Amino acid sequence: MPERMRIQRAIARAGIASRRAAEELIAAGRVRINGSVAVIGQTVDPVRDEILVDGKPVEQPTHTRWIVLHKPAGVLTTRADPSGRRTVFDLIEDSPGMTYVGRLDYMTEGVILLTNDGEAAHKLTHPSGEIERTYLATVRGDGAAAARVAMKGVDLEDGTVMPKEFLARRIGRGLWELEITIAEGRTREVRRLCEALDLQVERLVRTRFGPVKLGSLAAGKTRNLTAREAEIITALTKSGGKRKNTTRGTRRERTNRYSR
């Protein structure tokens, strides 16, 4: 029996846009189903029905692809850039419906996932999923004082940041290396957190997204998910995001440890 689903889900699953963005496309009359303008909530069979967005067919993935990329600094997390700057899609073998999971800003390096499973990408990045991300930041300022303040919570313009972990290690005169784990996933959250703590970020690397670690993967290179990573990601996306004690090994108690 054919699988029917709401049109916004079909668009998201194809990696065209998130569900919310798909709803905006539908509301703007840019989506057609079998020649007729689509309406939000309309159900479709992605295999049998013709779905067009801006006149282009929506191709459902024939198999699910996941790519782990080490994004270098100076690369955009977007599909295309009008100014011609490099994007993450210039670094991978692209295919229909590929989208990124967990945006990194232009100068931030580190692990980023790409997939043609738009629905899974949405679940992994939605705040309700509480997927942990770990960052290694090289900063100037008082890292020890910042660690003490950060673990009590820091108010930003879009809410309070409560790091799961904030470890600071002095590596030079006025220079600190911070290991910060968060689960909110807001735009430029770590950079804004550091700014609020009077820290100047010199380098920022995301070393972990959920169960996926950067490890020794070289900048600009890709790899496939390991079997264990794939297993955990499947569980996270099926359960809506939260799965206790899977994104980390042994969960350490929250602490404001630091070294002088």
pTM of the model: 0.77
Higher pLDDT, 13 or 83: 83
Question: How would residue 56 be classed by pLDDT, with cut points 50, 70 and 90?
Answer: very high
Given a cut of 90, is residue 127 above it in pLDDT? no
The pLDDT score that the predictor gives to residue 240 is: 56
C-alpha–C-alpha distance, residues 253 and 12, integer Å: 37
The pLDDT score that the predictor gives to residue 119 is: 79
Bridge partners of 213?
208
pLDDT tens, residue by residue, 74-109: 999 988 888 999 999 999 987 767 889 988 999 999
Question: Mapping DSSP to helix (H, G, I), strand (E, B) and coil, where does residue 221 land?
Answer: coil
pLDDT tens, residue by residue, 171-217: 999 999 999 999 987 889 999 999 999 999 999 999 999 999 999 99
- For residue 256, count other CB atoms closer than 10 A to its CB: 17
The pLDDT score that the predictor gives to residue 126 is: 82
Q: What is the mean pLDDT of the chain?
A: 88
Average pLDDT of the residues in 227-238: 92
Percent of the chain with pLDDT over 70: 90
The pLDDT score that the predictor gives to residue 64 is: 85
Tell which residue, 68, 165, 67, has the closest CA to residue 111.
Answer: 68
Q: How many CA atoms lie within 13 A of 2 on its CB side?
A: 9
C-alpha–C-alpha distance, residues 165 and 62, integer Å: 39
Bridge partners of 208?
134, 213
Catalytic residues: 105
The pLDDT score that the predictor gives to residue 241 is: 53
